[in-house]
Amino acid sequence: MVQQSSSQKVIARGAGSNALSFVIRFAARAGFLYVGARLYGAANYGVFTMASAMVELAVPVASLGLKRMIFPWLEEETATGKLATHVLLDALLLAMVAGLLVSLVMIGGVLLVPQGAVSDALRLAIVLLAPSVLGQITGDIALAATRWTHKMRYEVIGRGLVEPYALTGVALAAWHFGLQDTGMLIGYWAGSIALAAFSVWSARHCLGSLHLRRWRPSPAALLRRARALIPASGSDFLTTLAQRIDLYLVGFLLGDAPAGVYGVLRQLRTPILQVRQAFDGILTPLTARTMRSDGDVVTGEATAAATRVVLTLQLGVVLLMAATGDLLLGLFGVRQPGAYAALLAMVLAETVNGAFGVSELILYYRRPALALQVNFVLIAIAALAIPLLTPDYGIVGATIAMLVAALFAAGLRRHWLVGLGVRPPLLHASVPIAAASIAVLMGLQGATVLPTTWPAALRNAAPALIALALYALFVAMWRKARPGVLSLNRYRIS
């Protein structure tokens, strides 16, 4: 019982801390979303979204996976007496060389793209933003080094405050000075430089003096390290591509303005994404510990419980998004037909990926090649379905394609887990799904009796608001009828 209570407290504390950092980040980025989408317009915002997404795709290649792999490097080298700051400098040097090469490849690649395949504005934006990869990888690696000292506040401040507010402030100032075509690009550079400077300062504060005069990098040792890091870099690249493949295809198939609208939708689905991410930081090490101590079957039961918890929370956010979606779209200047339906399909796809992706942690530790294949499947389905659906259905078709891909990936994960002997109950997450479905039907029925004199916005939001209230009631009744049904006590903390 003590172990179970401790598990619940540890997970709740870790998830709560992560959730707070995500709230800070989302609030900061919401300001830029308003500046970019509302002031600069859909086409300019689409160009920026596509160009910055290309930079973000290049970052895991340029950083050589060091956002994760710098931890074992630090452990190995500091155990032999090497200064942690010198390990960081070695890592940054290695990443800078890779970053320069990746930037040149990006610039050369976009200049070689046939005329008409992308807009001239997007071509110029990618060329201008490509070198900012250096600032982004500096931020990733240096902030990772601060986490090695068990200090999380620097990453929260760097990514949640310094970068987005520098980006937003400079972009807003540029717009006031009439730089509508390049203002957001200048803002991105400002955010990247501010992030790099803050992260290096933070790492020095955590690790100690740099002792530059004593630093002696070994080219041969760095080359061996780079070769060893290639698999991690490739894995991170595929994960990033799977997360953004829909945006790239929408931009290349439909153009800059639809890409801008799609970029707004991707930002608005962030709360759904952050529900899962709030649990990731703590569930990842606990999954590994539970597998080592109790085996795969018990770990499968624990991840099934985690799926229930994440799904229950996410469905509540989905209903909230359904109630406020029209208002949010209008706030950010999106009035395109079908945008609301596309937003709902997108948040549902993220819900499936988030909740049912928890079990992927078992695959990641037991069969990493299978976990990697999930990304291949998502990329393949998107690459086939989005070109088929977008010509007739636009961005709605793209989001439906991603929902189909998410459902297929969830079924594939379960199939592979069964192959490992992990057989969570087939309907372990059926109650929250049924509760949300019934709440939606009752909300639609209840909204029909509302007075016609009520404001249109309130009448439009009423079905989802009623559904949200009923869903919360159903979940409360479920927890009372079955105490512990949303418990995560099967995870082992020690």
Residue 362 contacts residue 287 (beta carbons within 8 Å) = yes
- Higher per-residue confidence, 486 vs 47: 47
Do residues 264 and 334 touch, judged by C-beta distance below 8 A? yes
- pLDDT tier for residue 468 given thresholds of 50, 70 and 90: confident
Q: What is the 3-state secondary structure (H, E, C) of 431-477?
A: HHHHHHHHHHHHHHHHHCCCCCCCCHHHHHHHHHHHHHHHHHHHHHH
Of 384, 391, 423, the residue nearest 405 (C-alpha): 384
**Three-state DSSP state, 63:** coil
- The confidence score (pLDDT) of residue 401 equals 92
Q: Minimal CA–CA distance to 89: which of 104, 77, 100?
A: 77
| Structure confidence at residue 385 as a pLDDT band (50, 70, 90) | very high
pLDDT over 60 at 18, yes or no: no
* pLDDT for the residue 191: 93
pLDDT for res 426: 65
Residue 12: per-residue pLDDT: 53
Instruction: For residues 246-265, give the mean pLDDT.
Output: 86
pLDDT at 188 exceeding the cut of 90: yes
Q: Tokens standing for 190?
A: 């400002």
Q: What is the pLDDT of residue 22?
A: 60
Is 0.95 surpassed by the pTM of this model?
A: no
Confidence of residue 2 (pLDDT cuts 50, 70, 90): very low
φ/ψ (deg, to 5) at 488: -115, 30
Structure tokens at 323: 């109630």
DSSP states of 349-417 = HHHHHHHHTTTHHHHHHH-HHHHHHHHHHHHHHHHHHHHHHHHHHHHHHHHHHHHHHHHHHHHHHHHHH
pLDDT higher than 70, residue 11: no
Token match 């949010």: residue? 328
* Tokens read off for 218: 């070994």
More confident residue, 385 or 431: 385
What's the N-to-C CA distance of the chain in angstroms?
14
Q: What pLDDT band is residue 298 in, cutting at 50, 70 and 90? A: confident
Residue 1 has pLDDT above 50, yes or no: no
- Domain-wise residue ranges, the chain: 25-254
Mean pLDDT value of segment 362-371: 74
Handedness of CA 58, 64, 69, 75 (dihedral sign): negative
The residue-averaged pLDDT of 430-434 equals: 85
| Residue 81: count of CB within 10 angstroms of its CB | 6
In this prediction, residues 169-179 reach a mean pLDDT of 89
Residues in Cβ contact with 332 at an 8 Å cutoff, skipping those fewer than 6 apart: 33, 34, 37, 38, 264, 268
Question: Which one-letter DSSP state was computed for residue 114?
Answer: P
Count of alpha carbons within 13 angstroms of residue 286, beta-carbon side: 29
Measuring CA to CA, how many Å separate 23 from each of 16, 156, 160, 234?
A: 10, 10, 9, 30
The proportion of the chain whose per-residue pLDDT surpasses 90, expressed as a percent, equals: 14
- Contact indicator for 45, 36 with CB cutoff of 8 Å: yes
